[in-house]
Amino acid sequence: MKETRTFNRRTFLASAAAIATTAVAAMGRDYSSNAAPVRYPDPDLITLDKRFNKYKLGNTPIQRIYHSSKCLWTEGPAWNGVGRYLIWSDIPNDRQMRYLDEDGHISENFRNPAGNSNGNTFDHQGRQLSCEHGNRRVVRYEYDGKLTVLADKFEGKQFNAPNDVVVHPNGDIWFTDPGYGSMMNYEGNKGPLLLKESVYRIDGKTGTVAKVTGALDKPNGLCFSPDYKKLYIADTGKPKNILVFDVTDDGGLAGGKEFVSMKLDGFDNPGNADGIRADVDGNIWASAGWIGDGYDGVHIFAPDGTRIGQIKLPEICSNVCFGGRKRNRLFMTASQSVYAVYVETQGAHIT
pLDDT at 26: 40
Same domain, 7 and 139: no
Instruction: Answer whether residue 347 is part of any domain.
Output: no
Instruction: Answer whether residue 348 is part of any domain.
Output: no
User: How far apart, in Å, are the Cα atoms of 16 and each of 23, 107, 113, 115, 285?
Assistant: 10, 37, 43, 45, 41
User: What DSSP line would sit under 156-180, residue for residue?
Assistant: TEE-S----EEE-TTS-EEEEE--G
Same domain, 12 and 142: no
Same domain, 245 and 331: yes
Picking from 102, 134, 101, 324, the residue whose alpha carbon sits closest to that of residue 111 is 134
Same domain, 222 and 330: yes
Same domain, 171 and 108: yes
Question: Count of domains in the chain?
Answer: 2
pLDDT at 9: 38
Residue-by-residue pLDDT tens, the chain, 351 positions? 344 433 343 443 344 334 333 333 345 789 988 899 999 999 999 999 999 999 999 999 999 999 999 999 999 999 999 999 999 999 999 999 999 999 999 999 999 999 999 999 999 999 999 999 999 999 999 999 999 999 999 999 999 999 999 999 999 999 999 999 999 999 999 999 999 999 999 999 999 999 999 999 999 999 999 999 999 999 999 999 999 999 999 999 999 999 999 999 999 999 999 999 999 999 999 999 999 999 999 999 999 999 999 999 999 999 999 999 999 999 999 999 999 999 999 999 987
Same domain, 141 and 73: yes
User: What DSSP line would sit under 90-154, residue for residue?
Assistant: ETTTTEEEEEETTT--EEEEEESS-TTEEEEEE-TTS-EEEEETTTTEEEEE-TTS-EEEEE-EE
Same domain, 26 and 70: no
Same domain, 204 and 325: yes
Same domain, 90 and 113: yes
pLDDT at 205: 97
Instruction: Answer whether residue 82 is part of any domain.
Output: yes
CA separation for the pair 337, 211 (Å, rounded) = 34
The CATH number linked to 326 is 2.120.10.30
Instruction: Answer whether residue 4 is part of any domain.
Output: yes
Same domain, 204 and 303: yes
CA separation for the pair 200, 193 (Å, rounded) = 16
Same domain, 73 and 124: yes
| CB neighbours of residue 287 within 10 Å | 30
Q: Please provide residue 13's backbone torsions phi and psi, each rounded to the nearest 5 degrees.
A: -65, -40
pLDDT at 213: 98
pLDDT at 12: 33
Q: Is the pTM value of this prediction over 0.95?
A: no
Residue range of the domain that includes 275: 31-342
Same domain, 248 and 132: yes
Instruction: Answer whether residue 351 is part of any domain.
Output: no
